[in-house]
Structure 1
Amino acid sequence: MITAVVFDIGETLVDDTREWGAWAAWLGVPPHTLSALVGAVTAVGRDNADALRLIRPGLDVAAERAAREAAGCGEQISESDLYPDVRPTLSELRARGLWVGAAGNQTVRAGELLRNLNLPVDAVATSGDWSVAKPDPRFYSQVSTWAQRLPHQILYVGDHLDNDVLAAQAAGLRTALIRRGPWGYLWSDERETAARADWRINDLLELPDLLTPVL
């Protein structure tokens, strides 16, 4: 029985357009150039940070992120960056008695920004907070400990095949893949996704009624 739903953050709850645009401006390239490179590395299964390194070879992403912060061009997440279905879905899931969390591969700063938005969730955490990132199995072990649930009682919702579906499934969690963002659209019709994800959804608002029969 699913008693907790945990959401990935980037391109699941948060539209990453602003952050990628900020990186493009920082590196001195047009936004469409960086978007194309993100798509290229995604298509071949590389980390999206590799798109930044194609522009500036050898880039230390953590150091560059710190430089952005120091220059007043740091990471920002505001209400306008949330997808429109986020607040109503989170609120409805909690109203139906589920424990709801947000946990993804983000910085400590991103976690702070999300908590400042007072989302209708029980908790927010990031890989920066936990010092372990998806698809490392320890990330999902931490999710289970954090939510105080057994793995099979948790549904993990995300847009990334390897990080959010296959890794969570291997750790014993139930999974849902959302078709949005470059990764979600790219992999939503892959055979492996269809075989492994419990659900494929187009909108987070589908979740409450999908979960009702299994509560």
Structure 2
Amino acid sequence: MAENVQKAVFFDVDDTLYDHLTPLREALQEALGLADDMPYEDIYNRFRYYSDLLSEEKNLSAVPEEEALADMRRRRFMLALAEFGIFLDEIEAEAAQTAYVNRQFQIQPFPGAMELIETLTHSGIRVGLITNGPAEHQQKKLKALQVERHIPENMIFVSGGVGYAKPDVRLFEHVNTITKTSPEHSYYIGDSWRNDVVGAIKAGWTVLWFNHRNAVAESDHRPHFTVHNYQEIADTLLSVAALQKV
């Protein structure tokens, strides 16, 4: 007889449920006039690196001060683009940030994302989201993605509303407590090494690193699986019996 446990699968949002590169590329082209042949994926990887690094240093993904958050958002543009020989002042960085925000609410889920969520749900798996960022800002993205059609509100956790931010283990512990799930039966899918892989591993969860941009590991932590598209995510979950009814 199958063990009577409740399995749960949680997804990150930014660049896991949807293509986070598209609004960034469009913003850089609009605000800074960058050419079509720029290495946007490499720029994006460094942009996310500095965004995660600066946010963790100042604990900005939990309940940030408005000016500190605005400063971080400018600095991530300045630091990332400097690596590619593009040096911005604060006014230019602010213009890029404004254009970027305007495009973040015109997003579509990755092909197969919502279909997988439906498959998991229909298979008896609890499905949720864990995302860093200000609560109102992230909720606007979720509305654009029409997440409410697929995931109940009580399974969505935004760091700005909880008070803890990835990679803080307390956020994952909070999710387990509220959803009455356990670390050993919780699976997490996310693209960010610093936030998703490190945080969920430390919390004792099974981690699928969604490395669809061929990023480089930033530490000695080892994700349980590395996947590159939603077909691989689905196949991996099946292979570890996450879709079996229990």
Of 222, 225, 234, 1:199 maps to: 225
> Structure 2: which amino acid aligns with 1:201?
V
Q: Is 1:121 matched with 2:151?
A: yes
> Residues 47 and 39 from structure 1, CA distance in 2 versus in 1: closer, same or farther, beyond 3 angstroms?
farther
Who is 2:60 aligned against? none
**Residue in structure 2 matched with residue 11 of structure 1 by the alignment:** 15
**In 1, Cα distance between equivalents of 2:138 and 2:194:** 22
What is the TM-score with the length of structure 1 in the denominator? 0.73
- Structure 2 residue 196 is the aligned partner of structure 1 residue 164: yes
**SS in structure 2 at match of 1:157:** strand
Q: Matches of 2:39 and 2:54 in 1, distance apart?
A: 17
Aligned CA-pair RMSD? 3.5
> What's the counterpart of residue 163 of structure 2?
131
The one-character-per-residue Cα deviations of 1:125-176 (angstroms, maximum 9, x if unpaired) are 3223323321122222222234321222211111122211122111122211
Residue 89 (structure 1) aligned with residue 116 (structure 2): yes
Letter paired with 1:144 = N
Q: Alpha carbons of 1:130 and 1:192: their partners in 2 closer, same or farther (altered >3 Å)?
A: same
Rg: which structure is higher? 2
Aligned letter for 2:182? L
Larger deviation, residues 201-210 vs 26-35: 26-35
Aligned to 1:186: 215
Is the alpha carbon distance of 1:18 and 1:139 closer, same or farther for their aligned partners in structure 2, counting shifts above 3 Å? Answer: same
* Secondary structure of 1:140 counterpart: helix
Q: Of 20, 23, 43, which aligns to 2:24?
A: 20
- The equivalent of 1:76 in structure 2 is 105
Structure 1 23/46 Cα, relative in aligned 2: closer, same or farther at 3 Å? Answer: farther
1:17 Cα offset (Å): 2.5
Instruction: Return closer, same or farther for 1:132/1:53 CA change in 2, 3 Å cut-off.
Output: farther
Number of matched pairs: 201
Q: Any gaps of 5 or more consecutive residues in structure 2?
A: 56-72, 80-86
Aligned to 2:70: none
SS of the residue 1:84 aligns to = coil
Q: Which residue in 2 is equivalent to 1:111?
A: 139
The Cα of 1:94 is off from its aligned counterpart by: 0.6
Go from structure 1 to structure 2 and tell me whether the alpha carbon gap of 1:43 and 1:9 turns closer, same or farther (over 3 Å shift): closer
Partners of 2:26 and 2:48 in 1: CA distance: 19
Any idea what the Cα deviations from partners look like across 1:88-120, whole Å, max 9, x if unmatched?
A: 110111111011001112342222331450342
Instruction: Note the residue ranges of structure 1 that are not aligned, 5 or more in a row.
Output: none
Equivalent pairs: percent with the same residue?
18
Specify the code of the residue in structure 1 equivalent to 2:156: V
Correspondent of 1:39 among 22, 39, 45: 45
TM-score (norm 2): 0.65
| Counterparts in 2 of 1:40 and 1:191: CA distance versus 1, 3 Å | closer
Residue-by-residue CA offset, 1:64-106 (whole Å, 9 max, x unaligned): 59x849xx9363143xx21101011101111110110011123
Change in CA separation of 1:178 and 1:131 when aligned onto 2, cut-off 3 Å: same
